[in-house]
Structure 1
Amino acid sequence: MTAPDLIARTYHDHAHDPTPAGRVALDYDARFLRRKVLTLESGEALLVDLPKTTSLGHGGVLLLESGGEVLVTAAAEALLEVTADDLTRVAWHIGNRHTPCQIEADRLLIQQDHVIADMLRQLGAATREVTEPFTPEGGAYGHGRTHSHAH
């Protein structure tokens, strides 16, 4: 195994440099990490070695030890689009199950889960499989992630 080309030990939730030194697209699960080698869009290897496990947000940056920033973007992934006449009620049920959810004016996006999808259909919601970037709401105090019961 060869050594990574780049090393980042610091993360910021927003960019400072209008021209990043690199970009990496990660799905929701891959954006939760502490130490991992990532492959940038350029093909370069980046060792991420953060002091603690961190949820990397879409638009955040990893600061390179050599200078510059690597822009983190949300990669497209398989999701369920949820629509309903009473979207607020459906959103409450999703939140009550601690399911990560991207909330938009006329729809919700969640990770594919047939059990949750069945529950939503019983509540009168419609679901449709889509492939899009996933940027769900953070935790109750504005940081990190909601937690699922799958731990």
Structure 2
Amino acid sequence: MLPAYDDSLGTAVATAPAGHGRKIVGRVVLDHDSRCLRRRRLMTEGGASFMVDLPQAVSLDGGDALVLQDGCAVEIAAAREPVLRIEGDLPRLAWHIGNRHCPCEIHADHLVIRADHVLEAMLAQLGARVTRSLAPFRPEGGAYGHGRTFGHTH
């Protein structure tokens, strides 16, 4: 038997950036993969369910919101997930990470990638200092658009 959904919040039909000023009626915590969505049923931390039905796939960041039909919003929070913090010769290490088409979060003094034992060993072999951590993952977006790129149509 399928679970019953009350969809008490209705349907999210748009998105809003952080600082949007709308009334927040709930919050969902999503990992990096789950923050890319178009159509999906979600449940807030408080247990209210709602449907997401957007015109196209979007990539959301923590602080962004899904706008419901009534104009209220459900806030997006970036979940903590297993990541690797990388320090060392950043240009060289970033080149090797990018050469493997691995999403990467770029900071002035370190890089962050998803935890991957093969990449961790490669980076250590290249002289990187690698630290395992649990943190929200917010990789750099593509050069030809905001957020994620969904192909090579550029």
For the aligned pair, the TM-score class normalised by the smaller chain equals: 0.7 to 0.9
The structure 2 residue matched to 1:17, chosen from 10, 14, 21, is: 21
2:43 is aligned to: 39
Identity across the alignment (%): 48
Counterpart secondary structure, 1:22: strand
Alignment partners' CA distance in 1, 2:119 and 2:148:
18
Amino acid aligned to 1:24: V
The answer on whether the counterparts of 1:100 and 1:145 sit within 8 Å (CA) in structure 2 is no
Higher mean C-alpha displacement, 132-141 vs 5-14 = 5-14
Corresponding residue for residue 96 of structure 2? 93
- Flag structure 2 segments of 5+ consecutive residues without an equivalent: none
* Native 8 Å contact 1:82 1:107 kept in 2: yes
Are residue 128 (structure 1) and residue 128 (structure 2) matched? no
Structure 1 position 146, deviation (Å): 5.2
Q: Is the 1:61–1:71 Cα contact (8 Å) retained in structure 2?
A: yes
1:50 to 42, 50, 54: 54
Q: Residues 52-107 of structure 1: CA distance to partner in whole angstroms, max 9, x if unpaired?
A: 121112221111112211111111111111111x1121112212222111112221
Cα RMSD of the aligned pairs, angstroms, is 1.9
Read off the aligned partner of 1:22 and give its amino acid letter: G
Aligned partner (choices 40, 64, 74) of residue 68 of structure 2 = 64
Which amino acid is 2:5 matched to?
Answer: T
8 A Cα contact 2:93 2:128, kept in partner: yes
Paired residues in the alignment total 147
Point out where structure 1 has 5 or more consecutive residues left out of the alignment. Answer: none
TM-score by length of structure 2 reads: 0.86
